Amino acid sequence: MRRSLGPFSLSVWDEVGLQVNGFDHPPTVMMGHNSPAYRGWVEAAGYAPAKSLYTYELNTAQGFPPLIQRILQSGERNGRIAIRKVDKSRFNEEAVLILGLLNDAWSDNWGFVPLTDAEIAYAGRKLKSIVFEDLIRVAEFEGEPVAFMITLPNLNEVLKSLNGSLFPFGWAKLLWWLRSPKVKTARVPLMGVVKRHQASRLASQMAFLMIEYTRRAAIANYGTSRAEIGWVLDDNHGMRAMAEAVDSRINREYVVYEKTL
């Protein structure tokens, strides 16, 4: 072993990085959280930053700028593009489809580790209870799925109110909430376009259409007023430009550290 790199739990697909900025508001679902003091301890132990990861905060009640509106309009006129919700009655098939798209879309990203079939099955089981059809979108081009976007209601909001306990009545409150969740915040943990369409006008149209349709559903059906996008790698200039184009701003930073052994 020549290098230590982390924190990871257990790979780039789970909680990643040490939070170093954005301590003025609580973490969203499946995001790590730690004391600001950790940074000093880690760096004093000889670890140096290897990669920064950002989350972006978006006011979902606010419409998008004129440029994005024009991209949306051109996408809606493109008869070769179709944006659909996932079908939870075919959950296993949909999970395999989306995570297969993810393996392709993210394959050139820093820290990428391909998801195995077993990991895809596990991820599907883990997320099924907080998957809602109108918050997960698949983009098809000429009938072929080529992009996806996953949005999750911020489960942390209801978990916080349970004060860490499912008993005596916390379990009932959680199950009732899952039947018809209402949340101020939603998180977009993953989205991607297959490599052959990346950096194209088509990719922009599909991505902004998925964002807009999900934004409308989040407001109408879940009462959401805020979304968190990310995390996003510091060198993922395409995704960062897209986040900034919809007037979202960095609200949190995580750092992955490394140390030569």
Instruction: Indicate if the pLDDT at residue 124 is higher than 80.
Output: no
- Residue ranges of alpha helices (H) inside 55-180 are 66-77, 91-105, 117-127, 156-161, 170-179
55-250, CATH topology level: Aminopeptidase (3.40.630)
Q: Is 248 left (phi over 0), alpha (psi -120 to 50) or beta?
A: beta
CA distance 256 to 261: 16
Least confidently predicted of 144-153, 159-168, 242-251: 159-168
- Mean pLDDT for the chain overall: 91
- How confident is the model over 89-111, as a mean pLDDT? 90
Q: What is the mean pLDDT of residues 118-123?
A: 80
Q: Are 83 and 210 in contact (CB under 8 A)?
A: yes
pLDDT of residue 147 exceeding 90: yes
What local confidence, expressed as pLDDT, does residue 168 receive? 77
Partnered with residue 67 across adjacent β-strands are none
Tell me: the pLDDT tens digits for 162-184? 877 777 778 788 888 788 889 99
pLDDT of amino acid 161: 79
Q: What is the mean pLDDT of residues 131-137?
A: 93
Instruction: Report pLDDT digits (tens) over 192-231.
Output: 999 999 988 999 999 999 999 999 999 999 999 999 999 9
Alpha carbons 261 and 39: distance in angstroms, whole number: 19
Residue 49 — pLDDT band, cuts 50, 70, 90? Answer: very high
Other C-beta atoms lying within 10 Å of the C-beta of residue 33: 13
CA distances from residue 194 to 37, 99, 108 in whole angstroms, order as listed? 40, 11, 11
Q: Report whether pLDDT(119) > 90.
A: no
Whether the per-residue pLDDT at 12 is higher than 80: the answer is no
- What pLDDT, on a 0 to 100 scale, did the predictor assign at position 126? 77
CA dist 4 and 258 (Å) reads 5
User: Of 155, 143, 150, nearest to 86 (Cα)?
Assistant: 150
Query: d(Cα 65, Cα 62) in Å, to the nearest integer?
Result: 9
